[in-house]
Amino acid sequence: MSRLTIFGLEGIPEVTPGVDLAGLIADAARRGEGTALADGDVVVVTQKVVSKAEDRLVPVDPDDPLSHKPLVERESVRVLRRRGDLVISETAHGFVCANAGIDLSNVERGYAALLPVDADRSARRLRDGLRHRAGVEVGVIVSDTFGRTWRRGVTDVAIGCAGVAGVVDLRGTPDALGREMQVTEVAVVDEIAAAAELVMGKSSGIPAAVVRGVDPAWLRDGSVRDEIVRRPQEDLFR
């Protein structure tokens, strides 16, 4: 039977620049009951702790709630929309999101956290680190919380991945009635990030989750930049 289990990793201490994040994750997984990392798991880590570990923190005026706005302009290569204080822009990574992915929540007062420079690379490093720390071959996803057009509410998506597919191409696979399918390229990396968010929450101090039971065929080299980020020329809304 197809079955997936997702568990949040509790007890990860506050992450500081230069910390061994893979070690913290492996230790937290080992402490939980039945949660020690195993080959084939996918580890989802929030952008916020990855950015902290990589020292992507920038000082801002702690008394000015808009003090990160100049950073938003600097981190944007193209502004798509503005409304009040809200900026929807494209980042150097090719992500289109609010405020260039910068916010002040869950960051020490007086600092803003920028996105990782290259979150696919961050995911590869974590994957290598988990191999060394726990002796396991896992997929890694760095997740962040983005809004969407046309639908209210935010959902978590992947901004980087390693050892797990970005998109699984079901184009041409016969459907259940034996007919040739139309285009179905499923962004499984985003679906896994969304699933992980359900056990992490925003304020519960759970910055990482383990997804167990992912189709082994999906555990290949993957890249959010190469597979998920849509080029402006193939985009109808930019």
By CB under 8 A, is residue 28 in contact with its own copies?
no
Q: Which is nearer to its own copies, 39 or 108 (CB)?
A: 108
Q: For residue 232, what are its two tokens? A: 């402006």
User: Do the Cβ atoms of 229 and 124 come closer than 8 Å?
Assistant: no
By CB under 8 A, is residue 25 in contact with its own copies?
no
By CB under 8 A, is residue 58 in contact with its own copies?
no
Residues 71-100 contacting its own copies, CB under 8 A: 80-81, 83, 88, 90, 95-96
Q: Which is nearer to its own copies, 125 or 228 (CB)?
A: 228
Tell me the C-alpha distance between 100 and 123, whole Å: 20
Give the residue, chosen from 8, 101, 116, 129, that forms a contact with its own copies under the rule CB under 8 A: 8
Tell me the C-alpha distance between 235 and 228, whole Å: 12
Tell me the C-alpha distance between 164 and 71, whole Å: 31
Give the residue, chosen from 4, 66, 92, 117, that forms a contact with its own copies under the rule CB under 8 A: 4
Q: Which is nearer to its own copies, 5 or 135 (CB)?
A: 5
According to DSSP, the β-strands at 86-91 and 168-169 are unpaired
By CB under 8 A, is residue 1 in contact with its own copies?
yes
Give the residue, chosen from 63, 64, 151, 216, that forms a contact with its own copies under the rule CB under 8 A: 151
Q: For residue 80, what are its two tokens? A: 């798509």
SS3 of residue 203 by DSSP:
coil
By CB under 8 A, is residue 30 in contact with its own copies?
no
Residues 164-223 contacting its own copies, CB under 8 A: 166-167, 170, 173-177, 179, 181-182, 184-188, 190-192, 194-195, 197-206, 214-215
> What's the min distance (Å) between Cβ of 128 and its own copies?
25
Place of tokens 């699984």: 168
Between the CA of residue 116 and those of 100, 122, 185, 220, what are the distances in Å? 12, 7, 26, 22
